Chain A
Amino acid sequence: MQIKERERIEKRLEELEKMPSFKEEHSIAQMLQEKGISRRDFMKWAGGIATMLALSPAYTPLIAKAAELSDRLPVIWLNLAECTGCSESLTRSEFPSIDSLIFDYISLEYHETLMAPSGWQAELSLQNAMEKYKGRYILMVEGGVPFGDEGRFLTIGAHAQTGKELAKDAISKSAAVFAIGTCSSFGGVQAAYPNPTNAKPLSSVSNRSIINVPGCPPSERNIVGTLMYYVLFGNLPALDAYSRPTWAYGTRIHDLCERRGRFDAGEFVENFGDEGAKKGYCLYKVGCKGPYTFNNCSVSKFNSGVSWPIQAGHGCIGCSEPNFWDTMAPYEKPLADRSFQSVFGGMGADWTADKVGLAVLTATAIGIAAHATIMKIKESKGE
């Protein structure tokens, strides 16, 4: 680990330590004890987070300390034009099993799906949090922002404030902003052609730096991990061209796919449910968009590692990419005949990846062609 970087983190943690605690009598160490979680398990968890953030094991004690200090972080969560899938994904957070505890610990000041009060009292919770923790709360936003008809396709609260106004206000008083999910990051499904409500990403509302955590929905790990990064570094993580943290979105699905060997060997599922499907062949020919998609699903999976789409036999649909609903369609047909440019709107997530991707795509086309030829030869020989 870089000495400088380490010092920077240590300094950041010292700063946090000096901040007034929200819950004096309530240290995380105590809570862990109550929950029957040993210090050893906790350190194991911190190690898991380090691995997840692609940090060296030397970071583990720092992560543990950061988690212990995370009670300094009030969180406000807004729901805009969305389906609540991202909130649902958040509540799946389990592995390591104290994620939810950490989440209890980060004081969730406002979350419409989970909070007790409604109406005026809900509005009060929001106002209180925004004033009390001005400049110190983390804002997490789920959903796109409808701009059409002056934003009136979405109003929230007794005063019928538009989602657009509410988001702008909440961003302006926050310490950091995370756009959770593809809707908030890039506009999402309601922004797909012809975008009847003129839905836009959260970044259209303000000039503030916003960290995008796309996915439809993103895995529980990517949501929690992004929070942890902020606690650790106190600034933005390394981001790609679409403001996605590279620790989670730095590699292609295809690069670390469990079926990559099948791809390299030219073994493809031709039809769902065929012999190849039973053997776990590559899904490229039935529409997998793994080669064009930057995310860590192939490693982190979903629901504490139970599965992910490719394991369930369906291709990736590219859900963490901008405008994927339009650029990745049809979802069950390959993109081999389309140029790389169309997928990324002319700009790769990073230029190196761009070149690599082009090579991959060519290789895929060649792979399919070669495979098709072999099949043809076999068929003609009556095998």
Chain B
Amino acid sequence: MANKRIVIDPITRIEGHLRIEVEVDENNVITNAFSSSTLWRGLEVIVKGRDPKDVGLIVQRICGVCTSSHYRAGIEAVEDAIKVNLPLNAKYVRSMIAQALFLHDHIVHFYLLHGLDWVDVISALKADPKKAEQESFKYCKTPYATGEAELKAVQEKVQKMVDGGQLGIFANGYWGNKTYKLSPEQNLIALSHYLRAIEVQRDAAKLMAILGGKQPHPQSFVVGGVTCVRDLLDPSRLAEWKTRFENVKAFVDCAYYPDVLMAGKMYANEPSVVQEVSVPNFMSGDGIALNAQENLFNAGYILNKDLSQAFKIDENLIMEECTHSWYQENKPLHPYDGETEPNYTGFVEKMTIDGEGKNVAIPAINEKGKYSWIKSPRYDSKPFEVGPLACMLVGYAQGNERIKRVVDEFLQASGLPVKALFTTLGRTAGRMLQTKLIVDYGMETFNALIENLKNDESTYTPCPIDEKKEYRGRYIGEVPRGMLSHWIRIKDGKVENYQCVVPSTWNAGPEDSQGKKGPYEANLIGMKIEDITKPLEIIREIHSYDPCIACAVHVMDTKGNKLGEYKIDPKYLG
């Protein structure tokens, strides 16, 4: 029997527009997989020719979910180019805003985006609230929002929605799928936390707003420092930060951590979530300054799942290529150079299985040609996975004591072996552990800021850009979805070339010219699908990377193009 093809588009509960296609054999085991991003916006083209000091605000609009990541990257790439001596207060504020983002982003991801892959909302209706309350004490001494009365109220709330026949966002979910592994009581606990997460994420967002002016899209970074000096000099603002931080920490300690622990125990034998990764290389960047010298996360990479040694990154070995991406140029290029113009070739008609199991002809990915707006970044010609899991693994291999502590404690509490880290389950746990690290150690930054403010109120260093000089600079750092880098060239006081290499690009990119696949595609192969009309396993795997597709898609500028000479093929002008 010939292979069947499954198309999933849109992949929902992510940022951006993503299409996944897989082929399965007669046993419904995935034999091949393809990832395609279906939106291109071209922001790197747009920043060309502008004031370098404006770049941060523009590139922030790459993404409203990992808001502030690209803002900071755009500002710090310019600071790196023109060599700015950043005041310590600015360094701490940026670190605190990054913390606020990690906390917000990871909580929203686990509950609102990824949670419904692990938690069967409808099964929770069958739970006994009293038993569920008792169950919650197995994973936490002081559980969050799991008292019998509250769980009962949660149940009634959802029951009413179901009875009214108005399921809204819960309509047509994959409820009842055999790969849901939590008991009704466990589902109810997680459902209660889902509702509470909506409240807690607002607190995490306010953390960013206190120093950033608003969230999403804060506005207090400038080339040379930060602008929120009045908030720093106002003790009530700092107290507000501390209080909200503690609120978020309570949720992470008593809801998020125990829920992942529970999932770890219950899913330990579900093949689709403990299948080991095929891309065995992991890379991460520096992240979260705790004080003047020390970061919570440090840059590096590991190879072949080997936790005994970590390597230093050589920036010259980062290349991107477009063999299967909708751009003209195929050969690998370093981010400072680039030779790309859009070259959209679309889809080709193929027979695929639809939502009712029928064979239908629809436009599908042409894997022999180009099929995605995402490129394929490679390091030393190898694909890498980036993200919170990579950050934990690299830190572990580096012997980072803070990271070793939380990872070891989690493995011990869950009874999972080290190799369980290299799985979908491990990836989801890694994100939670990264969040745990921030709530455990983040206040060190706050304390360093307070200490510094006692004798230093500076927040900004004036930094003129010499129009007669040429500059180039870059930012590399760890953001919620992994290692992010922005690369800039400045000439005549304007942006000459701009390039982002974004976490989701590393993970979601298509095959390269050597036939090597990135993590999304490679790690799906070999997975068995329970019901090919409702491929929950695929969605769970893809969600475990926390896709941010608007970030992943971008275009490099044409090499040697002079400012203002960027030409667009008339056929793209509609």
Q: How far apart are B45's CB and chain A's nearest CB, in angstroms?
A: 5
The answer to whether B172 touches A198 (Cβ under 8 A) is no
Most buried by A among B166, B352, B457, B571: B166
Contacts of A65 in B (CB 8 A): none
B24 part of interface (Cβ distance < 8 Å): no
CA A216 to CA B71, docked complex, whole Å: 14
Stretch at the interface among B126-134, B223-231, B259-267: B223-231
Q: How far apart are A34's CB and chain B's nearest CB, in angstroms?
A: 6
User: Which B residue sits closest to A217, measured CB to CB?
Assistant: B216
Stretch at the interface among A230-238, A309-317, A372-380: A309-317
Interface residues of B in 343-372 (CB under 8 A from A): 344, 346-347, 352, 354-355, 362-363
Q: How far apart are A146's CB and chain B's nearest CB, in angstroms?
A: 8
B interface vs A, CB < 8 Å?
Answer: 7-17, 38-43, 45-46, 50-51, 53-54, 57-58, 61-65, 67, 87, 108, 112-113, 116, 121, 153, 156-157, 160-161, 163-164, 166, 168-174, 198-199, 201-202, 205-206, 209-220, 222, 224-231, 233, 342, 344, 346-347, 352, 354-355, 362-363, 457-460, 462, 533-535, 539, 550, 555, 566, 568, 571-574
The answer to whether B54 touches A331 (Cβ under 8 A) is yes
The answer to whether B342 touches A115 (Cβ under 8 A) is no
The answer to whether A85 touches B67 (Cβ under 8 A) is yes
In the complex, which of the residues B9, B65, B108, B213 contacts A160, with contact meaning CB atoms closer than 8 Å?
A: B9
Contacts of A153 in B (CB 8 A): 39-41, 342, 344
User: Which A residue sits closest to B222, measured CB to CB?
Assistant: A272
The answer to whether A313 touches B13 (Cβ under 8 A) is no
In the complex, which of the residues B161, B457, B462 contacts A271, with contact meaning CB atoms closer than 8 Å?
A: B462
CA A311 to CA B168, docked complex, whole Å: 38
In the complex, which of the residues A86, A121, A330 contacts B51, with contact meaning CB atoms closer than 8 Å?
A: A330
The answer to whether A216 touches B61 (Cβ under 8 A) is yes
User: Which B residue sits closest to A316, measured CB to CB?
Assistant: B219
Q: How far apart are B277's CB and chain A's nearest CB, in angstroms?
A: 22
Q: How far apart are B503's CB and chain A's nearest CB, in angstroms?
A: 15
The answer to whether B13 touches A113 (Cβ under 8 A) is yes
Contacts of B355 in A (CB 8 A): 119-121, 123-124
Q: How far apart are B8's CB and chain A's nearest CB, in angstroms?
A: 4
Contacts of B573 in A (CB 8 A): 148, 198
A364 part of interface (Cβ distance < 8 Å): no
Q: How far apart are B46's CB and chain A's nearest CB, in angstroms?
A: 5
Please provide the 10 A-B residue pairs with the shortest distance between their CB atoms, ordered closest to farther. Answer: A85-B64, A120-B355, A273-B460, A312-B213, A116-B173, A313-B227, A302-B214, A196-B42, A119-B8, A23-B164
User: Which A residue sits closest to B568, measured CB to CB?
Assistant: A196
CA A329 to CA B156, docked complex, whole Å: 52
CA A172 to CA B355, docked complex, whole Å: 26
Contacts of A160 in B (CB 8 A): 9, 38, 346-347, 362-363
CA A312 to CA B231, docked complex, whole Å: 7
A308 part of interface (Cβ distance < 8 Å): yes
Decide if the interface of chain A is mainly helix, strand, loop or mixed: loop
In the complex, which of the residues A108, A155, A190, A271 contacts B460, with contact meaning CB atoms closer than 8 Å?
A: A271
Contacts of A317 in B (CB 8 A): 57, 219
User: Which B residue sits closest to A333, measured CB to CB?
Assistant: B51
Contacts of A111 in B (CB 8 A): 169
Contacts of A25 in B (CB 8 A): 160, 163-164
CA A163 to CA B574, docked complex, whole Å: 14
Contacts of B347 in A (CB 8 A): 160
The answer to whether B166 touches A84 (Cβ under 8 A) is no
Provided the pairs A112-B10, A196-B572 are in contact, do residues A307 and B51 lie with their beta carbons within 8 angstroms? no
Contacts of A189 in B (CB 8 A): 41, 43, 46, 58, 61
In the complex, which of the residues A84, A271, A312 contacts B16, with contact meaning CB atoms closer than 8 Å?
A: A84
A246 part of interface (Cβ distance < 8 Å): no
CA A157 to CA B160, docked complex, whole Å: 31
CA A3 to CA B534, docked complex, whole Å: 56
Subset of 16 A-B contacts with CB under 8 Å: A83-B65, A86-B64, A116-B173, A118-B11, A160-B9, A160-B346, A192-B46, A216-B217, A217-B216, A277-B227, A278-B229, A307-B210, A308-B213, A312-B227, A314-B213, A331-B51
Interface residues of A in 183-221 (CB under 8 A from B): 188-190, 192-199, 216-217, 219
A306 part of interface (Cβ distance < 8 Å): yes
